[in-house]
Structure 1
């Protein structure tokens, strides 16, 4: 694998420090639900990108084991069980944080809950990132991919690899993780790593030793009972990290394939860029418009809901390379196509989207797609 695909990326947008909402200053903005969404320059942290609803479904499944109702988990998130259950749904990071906080306020043992969430992760539900990891030529290459595309996973940590004379240290930087959920996040991520470890390093012929540093966290060591793996814990460290020996880094991955790895890495790059373009203020406005497409509010109304001026909203949407008009059109054309493809008539689709005249909807749809809605409906049918 060439160095271009697997080079380490240390520069990630959003060098902002966040804590509990009560400790945050003016550098942070909140959405209409009271969730942190963006920094003052219009960009959020490295994890502030849309993510698959699978991450939230793991939270809800584990919460049920602890007697927490799904309705309580989703309170204040503007998400429904149908949203979480749809495999194409994406959620905002702030919505996932709200779910975590709802659950942590109700469970009796947050450490056990973190374990029950973490063990639900595997390569099958990691999407293209999971394929990119498995197809990497070596474990060291897989570590590089994990660092570069961590935002495509469930983690809120920034992953960085630091090479040493003995191997490499994979650091989990939590400085941008809200303080009230930091312990849960690192415990969940460590259990997730444990769950996928057999496929990553389980094919070694001899036992290897890993060093896990978890500052002040009483992590259950008995969960790491693998015959080919020994783990040394350091609970006094000031960082969260996993040290990997050099001989393990050179190990070939079980499904190593250079061509496949290149294709998967490029797809990861494209997906991450796509999600970055849908974060921040544009994502908030889009989510608000989808809630009631038949009664689309004026830009001034949304600005008022977000407690900002219309001019500020315009500026922040411009920073996201879009506009309110463009977002309205985007939401309408997406919903219109879905309704037409579901079998709804052109007239019915126009009414659902708030058009008083079918002719006006037909002209708009033709402008958006280059095809009249009646033809689009016939072709899709």
Structure 2
């Protein structure tokens, strides 16, 4: 039996700004200036502090690389980041894990919705005669940050583990396999666990005994777990549709839909050439023109349904002539904009 994450293995979807806040908080402990951490990411402190903000994975990677280039002890930094994680700052995924009927069910949720967490790994559960193995697949993680990402995740798991298995009366044995990194095992403390490390393994994984998988979660509630899982699915699908370069361009277009910039201007803002932007959008099976139309039709429908007239909507979207907007809207949707207008009360 194998239960894995989404088929596309990508971590490149919008992510909660909380993950970046953890990075900046740990960087401050190491004397690294926030401005240096954010250099080249197009993110501001206000963006990071806004709980509603989502960042692109590439922006988070930029912060990680900026810090790793300046930090004296990357192992200590990974620990300082990882220990900040708890269920409360994991959003709906944290509630889904806590409400799961058993620890085994929580592992399944973690695998399915790993992309909603801070991890850049694909998590896969493989059942064995003795229990289950939780595999951390880092094959899609950029090589220059793989070691940090694995260490951060391990410290994060350790930080939340007491709530998951603290109900045990006796110490349990876990096996932790770590492949290809010089992991500082001396920095880890497991007062409730007997951990066997395999630093010469060919994979990175945690083996969980069968009797632990059947333990009831502290806040187990089947109905709440189902509701949270459904919300995780909706959030995951929403983020997956707003990934990569297309997501960055959409975000920029929505910022000022009445004065849409030229493709060359956006390319310049992203510090790439117009040709590169065209190629990367094509790789995501879209184009600048398609994104412009997508943003305009989405906003147009919202404005019309809010009660604005066709003329007011056209003006909001930067059209100098209502007729031009009407033709464009009909081309986008197959119906005239008047069909979508909600009459003001």
Give yes or no for TM over 0.5. yes
The TM-score normalised by the length of structure 1 is 0.75
Partner of 1:181: 145
Answering whether residue 87 of structure 2 is matched by residue 123 of structure 1, we say yes
Partner of 1:326: 294
Answering whether residue 155 of structure 2 is matched by residue 191 of structure 1, we say yes
Q: Following the alignment from structure 1 to structure 2, what is the Cα–Cα distance between the partners of residues 139 and 319?
A: 44
> Is the Cα contact below 8 Å between 2:246 and 2:281 reproduced in 1?
no
Answering whether residue 36 of structure 2 is matched by residue 75 of structure 1, we say no
Q: Following the alignment from structure 2 to structure 1, what is the Cα–Cα distance between the partners of residues 316 and 291?
A: 23
Aligned residue pairs, count: 326
1:59–1:86 Cα change, 3 Å: same
Answering whether residue 335 of structure 2 is matched by residue 370 of structure 1, we say no
> Is the Cα contact below 8 Å between 1:314 and 1:324 reproduced in 2?
no
Structure 2 gaps of 5+ residues are 307-312, 330-336
Q: Following the alignment from structure 1 to structure 2, what is the Cα–Cα distance between the partners of residues 332 and 73?
A: 38
> Is the Cα contact below 8 Å between 1:63 and 1:69 reproduced in 2?
yes
Q: Following the alignment from structure 2 to structure 1, what is the Cα–Cα distance between the partners of residues 161 and 150?
A: 16
Answering whether residue 207 of structure 2 is matched by residue 243 of structure 1, we say yes
Answering whether residue 7 of structure 2 is matched by residue 12 of structure 1, we say yes
Query: Which residue, out of 205, 219, 234, partners 2:198?
Result: 234
SS in 2 for 1:307: helix
The offset of 1:282, in angstroms, is 2.3
> Is the Cα contact below 8 Å between 2:102 and 2:215 reproduced in 1?
yes
The offset of 1:301, in angstroms, is 5.4
The offset of 1:310, in angstroms, is 5.5
Q: Following the alignment from structure 1 to structure 2, what is the Cα–Cα distance between the partners of residues 311 and 178?
A: 21
The offset of 1:234, in angstroms, is 1.4
Q: Following the alignment from structure 1 to structure 2, what is the Cα–Cα distance between the partners of residues 368 and 117?
A: 52
Partner of 1:22: none
1:262–1:138 Cα change, 3 Å: same
The offset of 1:98, in angstroms, is 0.4
- Note the alpha carbon deviations across 1:133-173, whole angstroms, 9 max, x for none: 11111111111110111000000001011111111111111
1:174–1:368 Cα change, 3 Å: farther
SS in 1 for 2:195: strand
Partner of 2:248: 284
Structure 1 gaps of 5+ residues are 14-44, 341-348
Q: Following the alignment from structure 1 to structure 2, what is the Cα–Cα distance between the partners of residues 140 and 9?
A: 13
> Is the Cα contact below 8 Å between 1:317 and 1:323 reproduced in 2?
no
In the TM superposition, 1:1-381 aligns within 5 A as 8-9=3-4, 12-13=7-8, 45-215=9-179, 216-226=181-191, 228-290=192-254, 293=257, 295-299=259-263, 302=266, 305-308=273-276, 313=281, 316=284, 318=286, 323-330=291-298, 370-371=341-342
The offset of 1:8, in angstroms, is 2.1
Q: Following the alignment from structure 1 to structure 2, what is the Cα–Cα distance between the partners of residues 166 and 246?
A: 6
- Note the alpha carbon deviations across 1:15-55, whole angstroms, 9 max, x for none: xxxxxxxxxxxxxxxxxxxxxxxxxxxxxx52111110000
1:165–1:232 Cα change, 3 Å: same
- Note the alpha carbon deviations across 1:179-226, whole angstroms, 9 max, x for none: 000010000000100110011111112211111112332323453232
- Note the alpha carbon deviations across 1:34-79, whole angstroms, 9 max, x for none: xxxxxxxxxxx52111110000011011111111111111111111
Q: Say what the alpha-carbon RMSD is for the aligned residues.
A: 3.5
